[in-house]
Amino acid sequence: MANGEIEFATFESFKTWFDEKTKDHPLKNGRWGPFTEDFARGRVPRELLKEYGKQLYIHIQLTNVYTTWLLVSLSRLWLKYPDLYDIIAAKMGSELADPKPGGHGRTFVKFAHSIGLDDEDLFYAKPALDTEARLNRFVNRVPSPALTAVDWMLEGLVGHFMKVNRDILHEKYGLPDEALEYFDIHIHADLEEHGPEGEMLLERLYKLGLVTEDDYAGMSARVERAIAGW
Protein backbone atom coordinates (compact mmCIF):
# COMPACT_ATOMS: atom_id res chain seq x y z
CA MET A 1 0.00 0.00 0.00
CA ALA A 2 1.60 3.28 -1.11
CA ASN A 3 1.97 6.14 1.35
CA GLY A 4 -1.13 8.32 1.45
CA GLU A 5 -3.52 5.65 0.21
CA ILE A 6 -6.43 4.69 2.42
CA GLU A 7 -6.68 1.15 3.73
CA PHE A 8 -10.05 -0.53 4.27
CA ALA A 9 -9.12 -3.74 6.02
CA THR A 10 -12.72 -4.46 7.05
CA PHE A 11 -16.20 -3.63 5.85
CA GLU A 12 -16.73 -1.61 9.02
CA SER A 13 -13.67 0.54 8.33
CA PHE A 14 -14.92 1.38 4.83
CA LYS A 15 -18.50 1.99 6.00
CA THR A 16 -17.31 4.41 8.69
CA TRP A 17 -15.20 6.31 6.15
CA PHE A 18 -18.03 6.24 3.56
CA ASP A 19 -20.62 7.62 5.99
CA GLU A 20 -18.34 10.43 7.12
CA LYS A 21 -17.28 11.26 3.56
CA THR A 22 -20.81 11.41 2.19
CA LYS A 23 -22.62 13.11 5.10
CA ASP A 24 -22.72 16.36 3.11
CA HIS A 25 -22.89 14.78 -0.34
CA PRO A 26 -24.34 17.19 -2.96
CA LEU A 27 -27.10 14.72 -3.80
CA LYS A 28 -28.51 15.08 -0.30
CA ASN A 29 -29.17 18.73 -1.07
CA GLY A 30 -30.55 18.06 -4.54
CA ARG A 31 -27.61 19.72 -6.26
CA TRP A 32 -27.42 18.35 -9.79
CA GLY A 33 -25.64 20.78 -12.09
CA PRO A 34 -24.90 24.40 -13.03
CA PHE A 35 -28.58 25.46 -13.06
CA THR A 36 -29.29 24.16 -9.56
CA GLU A 37 -30.18 27.49 -7.99
CA ASP A 38 -32.44 28.56 -10.85
CA PHE A 39 -34.14 25.16 -10.78
CA ALA A 40 -34.77 25.34 -7.04
CA ARG A 41 -36.46 28.72 -7.51
CA GLY A 42 -38.62 27.49 -10.37
CA ARG A 43 -36.81 29.65 -12.92
CA VAL A 44 -35.46 27.05 -15.34
CA PRO A 45 -37.05 27.60 -18.79
CA ARG A 46 -39.29 24.78 -19.92
CA GLU A 47 -37.04 24.03 -22.92
CA LEU A 48 -34.08 23.44 -20.60
CA LEU A 49 -36.24 21.29 -18.36
CA LYS A 50 -37.19 19.24 -21.42
CA GLU A 51 -33.53 18.76 -22.30
CA TYR A 52 -32.91 17.50 -18.78
CA GLY A 53 -35.77 15.06 -19.29
CA LYS A 54 -34.15 13.70 -22.45
CA GLN A 55 -30.80 13.20 -20.75
CA LEU A 56 -32.36 11.46 -17.77
CA TYR A 57 -34.27 9.15 -20.12
CA ILE A 58 -30.99 8.14 -21.78
CA HIS A 59 -29.46 7.57 -18.36
CA ILE A 60 -32.33 5.26 -17.40
CA GLN A 61 -32.01 3.13 -20.53
CA LEU A 62 -28.24 2.71 -20.27
CA THR A 63 -28.44 1.98 -16.55
CA ASN A 64 -30.77 -0.91 -17.32
CA VAL A 65 -28.33 -2.19 -19.96
CA TYR A 66 -25.49 -1.97 -17.45
CA THR A 67 -27.43 -3.87 -14.78
CA THR A 68 -28.15 -6.70 -17.21
CA TRP A 69 -24.56 -6.79 -18.48
CA LEU A 70 -23.29 -6.94 -14.91
CA LEU A 71 -25.25 -10.12 -14.26
CA VAL A 72 -23.76 -11.80 -17.34
CA SER A 73 -20.19 -10.54 -16.97
CA LEU A 74 -19.79 -11.74 -13.40
CA SER A 75 -21.67 -15.00 -13.96
CA ARG A 76 -18.80 -17.15 -12.63
CA LEU A 77 -18.90 -15.28 -9.36
CA TRP A 78 -22.67 -15.66 -9.03
CA LEU A 79 -22.45 -19.38 -9.83
CA LYS A 80 -19.76 -19.91 -7.20
CA TYR A 81 -21.56 -17.89 -4.54
CA PRO A 82 -25.36 -18.21 -5.00
CA ASP A 83 -26.11 -15.78 -2.16
CA LEU A 84 -24.31 -13.06 -4.12
CA TYR A 85 -26.52 -13.89 -7.09
CA ASP A 86 -29.56 -13.37 -4.88
CA ILE A 87 -28.40 -9.80 -4.17
CA ILE A 88 -27.86 -8.84 -7.83
CA ALA A 89 -31.08 -10.59 -8.84
CA ALA A 90 -33.02 -8.58 -6.26
CA LYS A 91 -31.60 -5.36 -7.68
CA MET A 92 -32.44 -6.39 -11.24
CA GLY A 93 -35.97 -7.26 -10.20
CA SER A 94 -36.39 -3.83 -8.65
CA GLU A 95 -34.93 -1.96 -11.62
CA LEU A 96 -36.58 -3.92 -14.42
CA ALA A 97 -39.89 -5.14 -13.01
CA ASP A 98 -41.15 -2.47 -10.60
CA PRO A 99 -43.93 -1.43 -10.89
CA LYS A 100 -44.38 -3.69 -13.94
CA PRO A 101 -42.26 -5.19 -16.77
CA GLY A 102 -40.09 -2.44 -18.15
CA GLY A 103 -39.32 -1.27 -14.66
CA HIS A 104 -38.81 2.19 -13.24
CA GLY A 105 -38.26 3.70 -16.69
CA ARG A 106 -41.88 3.17 -17.72
CA THR A 107 -43.06 5.59 -15.04
CA PHE A 108 -40.59 8.23 -16.27
CA VAL A 109 -42.65 8.64 -19.44
CA LYS A 110 -45.42 10.23 -17.34
CA PHE A 111 -42.99 12.88 -16.15
CA ALA A 112 -41.63 13.41 -19.68
CA HIS A 113 -45.11 13.97 -21.06
CA SER A 114 -45.95 16.39 -18.25
CA ILE A 115 -43.07 18.72 -19.22
CA GLY A 116 -43.99 18.70 -22.90
CA LEU A 117 -41.95 15.83 -24.36
CA ASP A 118 -43.55 13.23 -26.58
CA ASP A 119 -42.43 9.65 -27.21
CA GLU A 120 -40.54 10.61 -30.35
CA ASP A 121 -38.52 13.21 -28.42
CA LEU A 122 -37.38 10.46 -26.07
CA PHE A 123 -36.70 7.81 -28.70
CA TYR A 124 -34.48 10.12 -30.75
CA ALA A 125 -32.78 11.92 -27.87
CA LYS A 126 -29.01 12.14 -28.13
CA PRO A 127 -26.69 12.19 -25.12
CA ALA A 128 -24.96 15.42 -24.19
CA LEU A 129 -21.21 15.14 -23.79
CA ASP A 130 -21.35 15.05 -19.99
CA THR A 131 -24.07 12.37 -20.07
CA GLU A 132 -21.97 10.25 -22.38
CA ALA A 133 -18.86 10.72 -20.25
CA ARG A 134 -20.65 9.77 -17.04
CA LEU A 135 -22.23 6.65 -18.50
CA ASN A 136 -19.33 5.34 -20.56
CA ARG A 137 -17.46 4.35 -17.42
CA PHE A 138 -20.40 2.14 -16.45
CA VAL A 139 -21.50 0.52 -19.70
CA ASN A 140 -18.12 0.00 -21.36
CA ARG A 141 -16.59 -2.15 -18.64
CA VAL A 142 -17.59 -3.99 -15.52
CA PRO A 143 -15.63 -3.03 -12.38
CA SER A 144 -14.53 -5.45 -9.71
CA PRO A 145 -17.27 -6.77 -7.43
CA ALA A 146 -16.10 -4.48 -4.63
CA LEU A 147 -16.30 -1.38 -6.81
CA THR A 148 -19.73 -2.47 -8.03
CA ALA A 149 -20.90 -2.63 -4.42
CA VAL A 150 -19.57 0.87 -3.75
CA ASP A 151 -21.43 2.15 -6.82
CA TRP A 152 -24.64 0.73 -5.39
CA MET A 153 -23.97 2.35 -2.03
CA LEU A 154 -23.60 5.68 -3.81
CA GLU A 155 -26.80 4.99 -5.71
CA GLY A 156 -28.57 4.92 -2.39
CA LEU A 157 -27.84 8.64 -2.01
CA VAL A 158 -29.86 9.35 -5.15
CA GLY A 159 -32.99 8.85 -3.06
CA HIS A 160 -32.24 12.13 -1.27
CA PHE A 161 -31.78 13.86 -4.63
CA MET A 162 -35.07 12.48 -5.90
CA LYS A 163 -36.92 13.74 -2.81
CA VAL A 164 -35.59 17.29 -3.12
CA ASN A 165 -36.26 17.49 -6.83
CA ARG A 166 -39.66 15.84 -6.61
CA ASP A 167 -40.76 18.53 -4.16
CA ILE A 168 -39.37 21.32 -6.36
CA LEU A 169 -41.08 19.98 -9.47
CA HIS A 170 -44.37 19.76 -7.60
CA GLU A 171 -44.20 23.08 -5.76
CA LYS A 172 -42.31 25.33 -8.19
CA TYR A 173 -43.31 23.90 -11.58
CA GLY A 174 -46.81 22.74 -10.70
CA LEU A 175 -46.40 19.13 -11.80
CA PRO A 176 -49.16 16.88 -10.43
CA ASP A 177 -48.43 13.96 -8.13
CA GLU A 178 -49.30 11.39 -10.79
CA ALA A 179 -46.61 12.79 -13.09
CA LEU A 180 -43.97 12.29 -10.39
CA GLU A 181 -44.34 8.55 -9.83
CA TYR A 182 -40.82 7.94 -11.17
CA PHE A 183 -39.37 10.14 -8.43
CA ASP A 184 -41.57 8.61 -5.72
CA ILE A 185 -40.44 5.10 -6.67
CA HIS A 186 -36.78 6.11 -6.45
CA ILE A 187 -37.12 7.82 -3.11
CA HIS A 188 -38.12 4.43 -1.74
CA ALA A 189 -35.97 2.18 -3.95
CA ASP A 190 -32.67 4.02 -3.61
CA LEU A 191 -32.87 4.82 0.10
CA GLU A 192 -34.43 1.57 1.27
CA GLU A 193 -33.27 -1.01 -1.27
CA HIS A 194 -30.37 -0.15 -3.59
CA GLY A 195 -28.08 1.54 -1.07
CA PRO A 196 -28.59 -1.21 1.53
CA GLU A 197 -28.12 -3.85 -1.20
CA GLY A 198 -24.73 -2.29 -1.92
CA GLU A 199 -23.77 -2.48 1.73
CA MET A 200 -24.99 -6.07 1.90
CA LEU A 201 -22.97 -7.02 -1.17
CA LEU A 202 -19.78 -5.34 0.03
CA GLU A 203 -20.02 -6.83 3.52
CA ARG A 204 -20.49 -10.29 2.03
CA LEU A 205 -17.53 -9.79 -0.33
CA TYR A 206 -15.34 -8.89 2.64
CA LYS A 207 -16.42 -12.05 4.47
CA LEU A 208 -15.54 -14.14 1.41
CA GLY A 209 -12.11 -12.52 1.12
CA LEU A 210 -13.03 -10.97 -2.24
CA VAL A 211 -12.05 -7.40 -1.31
CA THR A 212 -8.31 -6.91 -1.65
CA GLU A 213 -5.77 -4.12 -1.34
CA ASP A 214 -6.03 -3.67 -5.09
CA ASP A 215 -9.63 -2.49 -4.57
CA TYR A 216 -8.96 0.15 -1.93
CA ALA A 217 -7.80 2.96 -4.21
CA GLY A 218 -10.72 2.44 -6.57
CA MET A 219 -13.22 2.33 -3.71
CA SER A 220 -12.09 5.68 -2.34
CA ALA A 221 -11.72 7.20 -5.82
CA ARG A 222 -15.30 6.30 -6.71
CA VAL A 223 -16.63 8.11 -3.67
CA GLU A 224 -14.38 11.14 -4.18
CA ARG A 225 -15.40 11.36 -7.85
CA ALA A 226 -19.08 11.14 -6.95
CA ILE A 227 -18.72 13.99 -4.46
CA ALA A 228 -17.00 16.07 -7.15
CA GLY A 229 -19.95 15.45 -9.48
CA TRP A 230 -18.50 12.68 -11.60
- In angstroms, rounded to a whole number, what is the distance separating the alpha carbons of residues 91 and 87? 6
Which burial class, exposed, middle or buried, applies to 126 when counting CB atoms under 10 A from its CB (0-12, 13-18, 19+)?
Answer: exposed
∠ at Cα 63 (42, 92), nearest 5°?
120
Tell which residue, 96, 198, 102, 186, has the closest CA to residue 153: 198
Q: What is the pTM of this model?
A: 0.83
DSSP assignments along 77-104, one per residue? HHHH-HHHHHHHHHHHHHHHHSSSTTTH
pLDDT in tens, 3-13: 456 889 999 99
- In angstroms, rounded to a whole number, what is the distance separating the alpha carbons of residues 128 and 126? 7
- Secondary structure (3-state) at 195: helix
Residues 6+ apart with CB under 8 A from 209: none
DSSP assignments along 198-212, one per residue? HHHHHHHHHHTT---
- Is residue 114's pLDDT more than 90? yes
% pLDDT > 90, the chain: 37
| H/E element, 63 | helix 46-73
pLDDT in tens, 12-46: 999 999 999 998 887 777 666 667 788 888 999 99
Give the range with max mean pLDDT: 84-98, 111-125, 189-203. 111-125
pLDDT in tens, 74-113: 888 888 998 888 888 887 877 777 777 767 778 899 999 9
Domains of the chain are 42-227 (1.20.910.10)
CB 226 within 8 A of CB 38: no
Least confidently predicted of 38-52, 59-73, 174-188? 59-73
Tell which residue, 223, 161, 220, 148, has the closest CA to residue 191: 161
- In angstroms, rounded to a whole number, what is the distance separating the alpha carbons of residues 177 and 183? 10
| H/E element, 122 | helix 119-123
